[in-house]
Amino acid sequence: MRSIQDDRTTRAVIRDEALRLFAERGPESVTVRQIAGAAGVSAGLVVHHFGSKDGLRQEVDQYVLTVFEGMLRELTAGTGGQPLDPGAGAASLSEAFARHLPAGSPLPGYLRRLLLTGSDTGRMLFRQLFELSRRTLDDLSAAGLAAPGRDPAVRAALLLANDLAVFLLRDHLADVLGTDPLSADGMARWAPELLGIYAGGLNAAAPGEAPPRA
């Protein structure tokens, strides 16, 4: 069994291993014994800390929500709580998350499961992401970098759906592109094309490239 010095660390190890296994296999397919084995502790210790697998899942959900809330706060406010310069941030939510999350993080995979299972945590997170998309569009519009469109809510939802598609279709995109779209190399390819399309539609060149000939 894993030798861990203090109770807080033990709890965090169990939570993190549960998050990884939940993201890989889905919470319904993972047992308390498997989580305990991955964490290097006994199944009884998992129950001691969390009461049940449902209790552990609730803690994992809250942890994931807290992590994403922290990233969203950084995306929507600079130092001193002032709005970020719309032209200085990441090209998309997916690019911003790729910058914040370490390589191999299970969070993108768990985000995908949260959004597709219809859980309360998933609905809450999606609403927060949508509000971020609305504020971002408003900021870009105020700076003269985007038009709000006839229906700003729909336009913000379209931008959000495009961003989240990178998480939801990550494996398929990696298969056809030959690189993980959330890796540094993948984002180096993805972001310029995304910016080009956002700036001028499908006929626009990516930033730094000559425009297509008529």
How much is the pLDDT for 46?
96
Domains of the chain: 1-51 (1.10.10.60), 60-200 (1.10.357)
User: How would you label 119-149 residue by residue, b for 16+ Cβ within 10 Å and e otherwise?
Assistant: eebbeebeeebbebbbebbbbbbeeeebeee
**Angle at which helices 53-76 and 32-39 pack, to 10 degrees?**
60
Residue 192, Cβ density class (10 Å: 0-12 exposed, 13-18 middle, ≥19 buried): middle
Whole-number pLDDT of residue 53: 95
pLDDT, residue 96, reads 72
Question: Is 38 buried (19+), middle (13-18) or exposed (0-12) by CB count in 10 A?
Answer: middle
Mean pLDDT by 10 residues, the chain (214 residues): 54 94 93 96 95 94 85 58 46 70 84 86 89 86 85 92 89 94 87 80 63 51
- The pLDDT score that the predictor gives to residue 78 is 44
Q: How many other β-carbons are positioned within 10 Å of the β-carbon of residue 87? A: 9
